[in-house]
A and B are shown apart, each in its own frame.
Chain A
Amino acid sequence: MASLRDIKGRIDSTAKMKKITKAMEMVSASKMNKAEQNAKSFVPYSEKIQEVVASIASNTDADHPMLSKREVKKTGYLVITSDRGLAGAYNSSILRSLYQTVNERHQSSDEYTVIAIGRMGYDFCRKRNMPVAKSILGLADQPNFADIKELASETVQMFSDEEIDELYIFYNHYVSAISQKVTKKKLLPITDMANSATGSQYEYEPNQEQILQVLLPQYAESLIYGALLDGKASEHAARMTAMRSATDNANDLIDGLTLSYNRARQAAITQEITEIIGGVAALE
């Protein structure tokens, strides 16, 4: 049985750990609220741009490379992960899904490329010799559109330049504070332009083709940004949940240790008493 001092030491260190996880839980909770708000304030923009794009795309036979499928020689995967760990299964579930998809669909590493947002995804791919075309590391907890605009437009540019022929995005969709779902979405070419057009007929200045040329890249960039905001909210939620269960575990551990500490203490007292009684009996 461990000595009293050992048990005491473990209780103390666990209690310190608990303080940290508890603090991280609260920090993540407030970050999550903020991230959720960011995601909400993005909704009006994305809805509007979707509406306009849909109404143009469905009302015309204007053709644009971003709307039409072409033969796939190279696939791009945009992966949104966090920069730091301690977020439970947040990163590992995305990366597992990415790894499986890549293994299923491609034989050689010439057939795909990864665009990584977040250090975890970047390191994962580098370690496994997967090609990484672009990356952003150390993104803020509450990213602005300006922070990722460059990466987003370069990625869309890669598609226009036919460097990649389709683009998938992997991120964790924020369902609720306790549930996040790994989501794999095909971003480009844009195919699911549902006929959600409101029927309003617009004049186009200068003409539809040119507007599509400006609008579609913006639309694709906004989708990437939307996914990033969603991913960030999930990250904070996942971290909060992970830290909460760590705190709970620390509590359980401390309870168990306290129990065995008290038992050991009682055993020591009993032993001392027995020794004293033994000593007295020997004297009589």
Chain B
Amino acid sequence: MKTLTVSVVTPDGPVLEDSFEMVSCKAENGELGILPGHIPLVAPLAINVVRLKNGSDVQKLAISGGFLEVRPDKVTILAQSAEKPSDIDVERARKAKERAERRLQSKQDDVDFLRAELALKRAANRIDAAQR
């Protein structure tokens, strides 16, 4: 089976570089599945889990603030943060989630609101990646 090289890079250094058969991720306007030989593509990614598949083996990464660059034989994911499920502190994410929820309920001015919403998304995403 043909594979493509996937590298995940964050400002704190490369997270992962390996070959996979398929990359499945969620862009801003919908799910994207990328197989080898895809046309060159650039797309921003939603705060979500990226799945890297190799046969029945699936590796997950919690991504936030990222985008995807695809070339026929190489996929690069640039993200402000990318974490493997084993690196996620679930307890901390849960606390962050509660905090964000509380802030959302106590409606204040809208800048805070936006930030709390993003924080909530990130925390939920982390918990999601760590559990499933």
Contact = CB atoms under 8 A, between A and B. Distances in A.
Main secondary structure of the interface of B (DSSP, over half): strand
Interface residues of A, number: 29
A202 B70 CA distance: 8
A48 B78 contact: yes
Nearest to B17: A44
A205 B11 contact: no
Contacts of A278: none
B41 A203 contact: yes
Given A48-B69, A211-B67, A202 B11 contact: no
A160 B27 CA distance: 24
Given A205-B29, A218-B80, A225 B11 contact: yes
B12 A145 contact: yes
A125 to B, nearest CB: 25
B55 interface: no
Contacts of A99: none
B90 interface: no
Q: Which of A205, A221, A222 has the most CB of B within 10 A?
A: A205
A41 interface: yes
Interface of B: 9-14, 27-29, 32, 39-44, 65, 67, 69, 71, 76, 78, 80-81
5 contacts: A48-B78, A200-B71, A202-B42, A203-B40, A204-B41
